[in-house]
């Protein structure tokens, strides 16, 4: 189904609207979805996951396929559930009615809805355990979808929540047709291992007490290590054969001087190889791996692109190489062509 359904005037207005959404850059804050994870495992990234049949697909690097919004996208027949990552949210109001709310899926929800897709933006405990977040995800889908089959698109830790919900919880009144994960740490993260190692076991209880003191859960942090994800979570969370699994990864070059990803990118490059600043390409692979987005950070993936970087590229005559809105519209198009 075309993104542009009405007369030519309406089509032009819709296209202009989506273009404005796509061109908006977002907050460069790292508060959106930064997953700290645990225990520091040093091993050559090239051999970490050898032998796993899920990772035998040939890597496909995607350079500028999603630089611009196309004129036409097919529309999937089932609603899309957007599942956020660690420390994420659907909508966050920091100053009541004084300032507009901050959206995790910046401009993405509106663009999908403009293409005739029913979109459900789920909200789960920001730093809860996978089990807590998965239970809330199932409850939310059951309440909002009202028995409709759904496709889930999940960013970062949201992919782990969805996998656990599908495999272990199997909530009533929830039927998932497909799960597409975007930079989800299916095999854990070396940066999580590094952070917990730096904190140290003697200081960890005090760290958790502080986090809990500001009203946050701590269950997520110890579950995102390479050891836990590889040996425990994946072993007890088999795929559902009735669900289609797709995944995307991303990698960025050396982050600029003031990037929040400078340390994490270096640690992960040394231990896991190419990464988006928080999740490695190797860890992103699950099910049908669709490819690696090149030159894209973990926050770029949800349209939280650094405004200064975007402006400087424009001044230097360099066009955009990645547009998050075009990317998610293309995922929806892919789902439609898979009859989902």
Amino acid 96: pLDDT: 52
Give the closest residue to 258 by CA, choosing from 306, 305, 301.
306
Q: Is residue 261 part of a domain?
A: yes
Number of separate domains in the chain = 1
Q: Is residue 184 part of a domain?
A: yes
Strand ranges (E), the chain:
61-62, 80-83, 91-92, 102-103, 119-121, 149-155, 175-182, 244-251, 288-294
Q: Is residue 300 part of a domain?
A: yes
For the packed helices 8-23 and 324-337, what is the interaxial angle rounded to 10 degrees?
120
Amino acid 213: pLDDT: 73
Amino acid 313: pLDDT: 56
Amino acid 317: pLDDT: 60
Amino acid 307: pLDDT: 53
Token pair 């300032």 is found at: 99
Q: Is residue 206 part of a domain?
A: yes
Neighbours of 310 (CB within 10 A): 18
Q: What is the CATH number of the domain that holds 43?
A: 3.40.50.1820
Q: Is residue 3 part of a domain?
A: no
The domain in which residue 100 lies consists of 8-337
Q: Is residue 1 part of a domain?
A: no
Q: Is residue 281 part of a domain?
A: yes
Q: Is residue 2 part of a domain?
A: no
Ranges of the chain whose pLDDT falls below 70: 1-59, 87-101, 103, 215, 218, 304, 306-320
């Amino acid at each position: 189904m075309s993104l542009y359904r009405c007369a030519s005037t309406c089509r032009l207005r819709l296209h202009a609207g989506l273009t404005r959404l796509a061109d908006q850059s977002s907050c460069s804050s790292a508060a959106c979805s930064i997953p700290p994870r645990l225990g520091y495992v040093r091993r050559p990234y090239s051999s970490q996951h050898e032998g796993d049949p899920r990772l035998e697909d040939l890597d496909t690097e995607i350079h500028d396929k999603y630089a611009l919004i196309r004129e036409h996208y097919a529309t999937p027949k089932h609603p899309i559930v957007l599942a956020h990552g660690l420390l994420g949210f659907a909508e966050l109001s920091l100053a009541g009615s004084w300032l507009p709310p901050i959206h995790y899926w910046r401009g993405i929800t509106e663009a999908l809805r403009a293409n005739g897709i029913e979109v459900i933006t789920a909200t789960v405990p920001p730093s809860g355990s996978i089990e807590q977040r998965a239970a809330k995800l199932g409850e939310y889908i059951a309440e909002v979808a009202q028995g409709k089959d759904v496709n889930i698109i999940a960013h970062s830790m949201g992919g782990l929540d969805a996998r656990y919900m599908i495999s272990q919880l199997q909530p009533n009144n929830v039927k998932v047709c497909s799960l597409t994960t975007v930079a989800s740490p299916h095999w854990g993260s070396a940066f999580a291992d590094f952070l917990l190692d730096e904190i140290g076991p003697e200081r960890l209880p005090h760290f958790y007490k502080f986090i809990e003191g500001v009203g946050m859960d701590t269950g997520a942090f110890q579950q995102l290590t390479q050891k836990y994800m590889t040996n425990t979570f994946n072993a007890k969370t088999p795929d559902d054969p009735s669900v289609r699994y797709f995944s995307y990864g991303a990698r960025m070059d050396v982050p600029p001087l003031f990037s929040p990803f400078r340390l994490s990118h270096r640690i992960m490059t040394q231990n896991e190889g190419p990464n988006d600043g928080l999740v490695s390409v190797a860890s992103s692979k699950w099910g049908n791996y669709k490819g690696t987005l090149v030159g894209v950070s973990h926050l770029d993936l949800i349209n939280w692109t650094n405004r200064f970087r975007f402006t400087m590229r424009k001044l230097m005559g360099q066009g955009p190489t990645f547009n998050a809105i075009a990317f998610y519209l293309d995922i929806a198009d892919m789902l439609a062509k898979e009859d989902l």
